Amino acid sequence: MSFDGQVAIVTGGASGIGKETARVFAQKGAAVAIIDYAGDAAINAAFEVSKDTGNDQIMGIKADVAQSKEVVAMVDEVVKSYGRIDFLVNSAAIRAAGNVLTLDKEVWDQVMQVNLKGMFLTSRYCLPKMIEGGGGSIVHISSVQSFASQKNVVAYTASKGGINALTRAMAVDHAADHIRVNAVCPGTTYTPAVIKSAGRFEGEKTLEEWGKANPVGRLGESLEIAHLVVFLCSREASFMTGGVYTADGGLLAKLPCELPENN
C-alpha cells in the first residue's frame, strides 16, 4: 500500500490508536494532519511521527471536533497546506462513568458531542473536499461496546452504537460520490486511556486480567488496530463500505460460561 500524494486527517491523533494510525499513514507516504483537543500534544505527536518516519509532511492542529467553527478552520488549514483531503479517520473520543440514574445530564451531552456529533461534523466538512478530489475513505473508530457493554458506561456505549449506525447511513448516502465509509471496533487495547482506566482499580494487575479475558490471552496494541484502519482506506479495500469490523482478540466470540476441561 502506498499513499504517496494523498492526505489523511486523523482526529484524536495525539495518542493511542489515533497516533499509531497517523504513523502508519506517514510510513506509507501520506501527508497527515494530526488533530487533537490538546494542541501541544498534537504538535508534539506530529514532530515525533515525522522524525520516526522521515516524512516531513506531518502537521499537528488543535481543534475541538464538537465545535463547527474549529472543524471548519481545521479543514481549511489542511487544504491550504496540502491541497486536498483523501482520508478521514475519526478517533477522537471521551469516556465517562455512570448509568442513566447517576450520570450528569451535562456529561451525557458532552460524550455525545465529542464521540458522535464530532464524527458528524468532521465528515460534514471533509466530505466536500474529498468529493472534489474524486473520492476517498472515512473510518470511524467505534468499540466492542457498541455490541456489548460493561456496567456504568451508558453514554460511551450509546455513542459507539450510534457510530455504527452513522457508518452504515453514510456509506449508503455517499457511495455514488466514490466515498467509502467503514467502522473499526477495537476491544481492550493498550492505550493511555485504558491504562488510566485500569489505574482506578489495580493497575497492571487489572490490565493483565483484561488481557486474559480475550481468547488470544492479551490486550490489543494500538498498532494492530492502526493497520486495519489504514487497510480500509487503501485500494486493496475498494469493495468494502458500510462495514463494522471488530479487532478484539476474539472477545465477542467467546461465551462467558465454559465447559469443564475434561468434557
Angle at CA 198, nearest 5°, toward 196 and 203? 105
Query: Which are the contacts of 188, defined by CB distance < 8 A and separation ≥ 6?
Result: 194, 210, 211, 213, 214, 219, 220, 248, 251
If one counts the domains in the chain, the total is 1
Please check whether residue 1 lies inside any domain of the structure.
Answer: no
The pLDDT of residue 101? 98
Answer yes or no: 156 catalytic: yes
Please check whether residue 51 lies inside any domain of the structure.
Answer: yes
Please check whether residue 32 lies inside any domain of the structure.
Answer: yes
- Rounded Cα distance between 131 and 117, Å, is 21
What is the block-wise mean pLDDT of the chain (263 residues), using blocks of 10 residues?
95 97 98 97 98 98 98 98 98 96 98 98 98 98 96 97 98 98 95 84 89 93 98 98 97 85 67
The pLDDT of residue 158? 98
Range of the domain at 27: 7-187+222-246
Half-sphere exposure of 21 (CA within 13 A, CB side): 36
Please check whether residue 197 lies inside any domain of the structure.
Answer: no
Closest CA to 11 of 63, 76, 77, 56: 63
Please check whether residue 253 lies inside any domain of the structure.
Answer: no
- Rounded Cα distance between 171 and 243, Å, is 9
The pLDDT of residue 263? 57
Please check whether residue 43 lies inside any domain of the structure.
Answer: yes
Annotated catalytic residue: which of 82, 156, 190, 245? 156
Please check whether residue 28 lies inside any domain of the structure.
Answer: yes
